[in-house]
Structure 1
């Protein structure tokens, strides 16, 4: 079920997965999920993925605008770093080039997850504040930028859903990603995702956000868990 990674602590336990699976099935069945994708509503929905230009090889202005829909932003210094010509922005571009734009968490290998981590780490280094006392660790913002750039591979990991899935999922991106990957490979969860997708499309009808038909299953899973945790 889980990938063999170099860090043993990155493997979820059977109990952690069983709890995540139960929570996920309940979240996907919730009627409140439809609100997340209504055009007249005030949730990010598909706009997080579709806003403006989402280039495959760099982090652009539209990416930085899109993450504000999820309640985070990048400082002026971080914006200049990401948009400039410097070793930190070069590292972000290099890590993006190592991950195909259509990479999918369902078929991800251990190498793919390591590349995703390198992307997250490069973005985090670029937006960190070097003047902050102690370590500046903007991991939530970096996770959301990473998810915008590779929405079928990298889930939106933050404290809200991390707490929902357990302490180790909150503390370790690899535990979190492994749980999400296993959920996307679970036949019952896949059926629940298909049901949620159909229910959202039917319930929202003419009020459905643009491009919902191409919304990755990972994004719907993200949204369902966030709605469950936030409510």
Structure 2
């Protein structure tokens, strides 16, 4: 689970990972993925549409949107995508959702699930968008609401598939204290991530992104890459 993965990472390590990934704050250094949220004005440039800039931005996290899928997203499915995005308020934060809000928006009958199914072409002819790519497209549009599904982070969190991964992340960010070695209560995971965001000067990043990057960078193969490399 994400809580357990984070317990293995010290604050010093986490801050170093964030510094290495996002660079010096001026766009210099860091991994190519630091541009994911900001390229082309960011996903909030047109919050109720998936644009060509959004599809290009996800390539900075080492995924590819096939041409057939891109044409469908930008063309025949654009109107339905816009309707679903309008039901997902850009200002909503995942960690602030109550259980009812989570169920309404990210539950089986919610707009996030419908958008997920549309992007993945669930129930119809597939067009090459898997769980990782779909999650990154959705996270580009709603960075504070949609977690990225990544094989490295999934493995560290002991997730065997993308099934129910939103629920797993929601449970991790619920207001539960992290246990310490002494048995005393520590900060919640949400509080800890907030501290890391503040200390690293990344106020514009979502807590979901902070959690994702820290766990991803803790993987030896991910963190040992040259800073100019893509995130895979």
Q: TM-score range by the shorter chain?
A: 0.7 to 0.9
CA RMSD of aligned residues (A): 2.8
The structure-2 alpha-carbon separation of the partners of 1:27 and 1:112, relative to structure 1 and needing over 3 Å to count, comes to farther
Post-superposition shift, 1:40?
2.7
2:105 equivalent in structure 1: 112
1:182 positional shift: 2.4
Alpha-carbon contact 1:162-1:176 (below 8 Å) kept: no
- Alignment size in residue pairs: 197
Give the SS at the match of 2:90: coil
Match of 1:94 among 83, 93, 115: 83
Unaligned residue ranges in structure 1 (runs of 5+): 1-15, 202-211
Q: SS of the residue aligned with 1:213?
A: coil
| Alpha-carbon displacement from aligned partner over 1:148-185 (angstroms, at most 9, x marks no partner) | 11000001112221111113564433333324432799
- 1:79 counterpart = 2:70: yes
Query: 2:59 is paired with a residue of what secondary structure?
Result: helix
Where does residue 130 of structure 1 map in the other structure? 125
Deviation for aligned residue 1:83? 1.3
Alignment of 1:156-195 (within 5 A): 156-168=148-160, 170-182=162-174, 187-195=187-195
Residue 222 (structure 1) aligned to one of 199, 209, 212: 212
Higher helix share: 1
Residue pair 1:168, 1:175 contacting (<8 A) in 2 also: no
